Amino acid sequence: MPSFVELNKDCFMLTAPSGIKSGLQNIALIFASLVGSGFLAFLTQVILGHSLSMEDFGIVNTAVSIIVIMGAVIGFGIPSVWLLLYGREGEQAFRWVKQSVKFMLPWAAFVLAAFSIVLIGLIDDARLLTVIWWMQAMAVMQVMMGLLTAKLQLEARYGELSFWQLLPPLGQLAVASTAYLSATPNAFEVGKGYFLVSWLLIAASGISLLSMTPTRMRLAGHPSTSSTIIADLQQTPQIKDVLDIAWPYATSAALVMIYGRIEIVFLGVINSPIAAGTYAVAASFLLVASLPPQAIYQKFLLPKIHRWFYNDHQKFLTTFRLGCTAMTIAGIFGTMSIYFLGESLIVLFFGEQYRESGQILTMLAVCILIRYVSGSIESSLMTGNFTRHRVCCQVFITLVSVPSAFLLITFYGLDGAIVNKILKEFLLLVSFGYASSHFVFRGKLLSEWSLCLVQKK
């Protein structure tokens, strides 16, 4: 008989029909909430773009970019650490929670004070400094929401996770709507509104995190504790132990925000708030386009990737290969769509005054494909000891992109920001690809590439 090809059932993430259906439903739910969050964030940008002057709009976006970097530094990668530890130790990982919190409280106070001093020394624009001061609560809110997201991921409570993801952009949309209805909308009003919304969410998420105890929290899908680590589990970890595990995640989280937002920050500080606002409009479209890999990898697959890496390596490999292929196809589609429709969409939503943003978006469309592919490759570096290699890639990108952004934006303004963005995304793809192939797969990734198709006689 002629041979035929069939899919090996062991290659699927979830083999039972009910498991497949449940997994797809969870991905769809998370993706829908992220699309909703992205749409709300985008709508907030549209309303602010129509409400504020271009200068005030640029001030708000520059301030938000700085605050996001601040929040990443405060968070110190602890949400990712929790996902790793619970994936490795199961219910025994509760012993790490108290030490994590004991470290984060004084660390947050130190970071807020240090950032305030540094920003006062570097930024001459008093209006920008005032807006940043009002928005500092957003950094704390960002950390609290990250911790709560990790908790809900561990419990596989994807419905509640989706709900919580919508709250920050809903609050910011309410602030933007209030500014739109105001007789004299300005950046200060927006900053004060974000301050109020942030503290409400800090309180709400803090109450929800109180249930993160062995008796009140039910972990989902974790196997019994491995006998190879039972001896280690008898010891109560110290803050030093938390830092030893957390530093790669902390460094990674901070670097991602630094090189991810550096163009807007430098445009706002070096060039002008108007230039920052013009670029931020294009960046908001790229942010929405980046939601699919974020939904699949960071919100759904990450806790499973940790678990599979330690307990089912074949499933880990299969998920990686299938994910890379799917993300490449999706990235091509996204790039083509934005290239042909991006400028028209920006003019439609933001008005003729932001047409230059549309032209910027057209030139940045290729970043979508690069981001999709690099994001899928990056997933192999997010567990085990490979996080250190991921950090090395991100340190390299930061060391290249931050000085180049400063020079390119100083001499070429918006054109320099565009060149720096594309260069940065390409170098990130090359770095992740090299690290994954060389360290995770020992140079055998391409030679063994397969979607687990099995030849059958």
Give the range among 1-10, 199-208, 275-284, 390-399 with minimum mean pLDDT: 1-10
Instruction: Please determine, for residue 243, whether its predicted confidence score (pLDDT) is greater than 70.
Output: yes
| Residue range 431-449: mean pLDDT, rounded | 74
Q: Which residues are CB-neighbours of 12 under 8 A, at least 6 positions away?
A: 20, 318
DSSP codes, 223-247:
PPPPGGGHHHHTSPPPHHHHHHHHH
Q: Which residue has the higher pLDDT, 322 or 51?
A: 51
Q: Is the dihedral of CA 43, 186, 184, 356 positive or negative?
A: negative
pLDDT tens, residue by residue, 132-145: 999 999 999 999 99
For 313, the 3-state DSSP assignment is helix
Q: What pLDDT score was predicted for residue 3? A: 41
Enumerate the H helices of 413-449 as residue ranges: 414-435
pLDDT reading at 230 higher than 90: no
Across the chain, what does the average pLDDT equal?
Answer: 84
Distance, C-alpha 251 to centroid of its chain? 14
Task: Give the count of alpha carbons within 13 A of 285, CB side only.
Answer: 32
- Res 1: pLDDT: 40
Write down the pLDDT at residue 29: 72
Average pLDDT of span 50-65:
94
pLDDT of 308 higher than 90: no
Q: Structure pTM? A: 0.79
Domain assignments of the chain as residue spans, ordered by start: 4-456
Residue 413 has a pLDDT of 95
Query: Hey, how many other C-beta atoms are within 10 angstroms of the C-beta on 359?
Result: 17
**For residue 438, is pLDDT > 90?**
no
Work out the burial of residue 452: count CB atoms within 10 Å of its CB; fewer than 13 is exposed, 13-18 middle, 19 or more buried: middle
pLDDT over 90 at 231, yes or no:
no
Model pLDDT, residue 225: 45
The amino acid sitting at 244 is D
Residue 336 CA: distances (Å) to CA of 220, 355, 422: 39, 19, 16
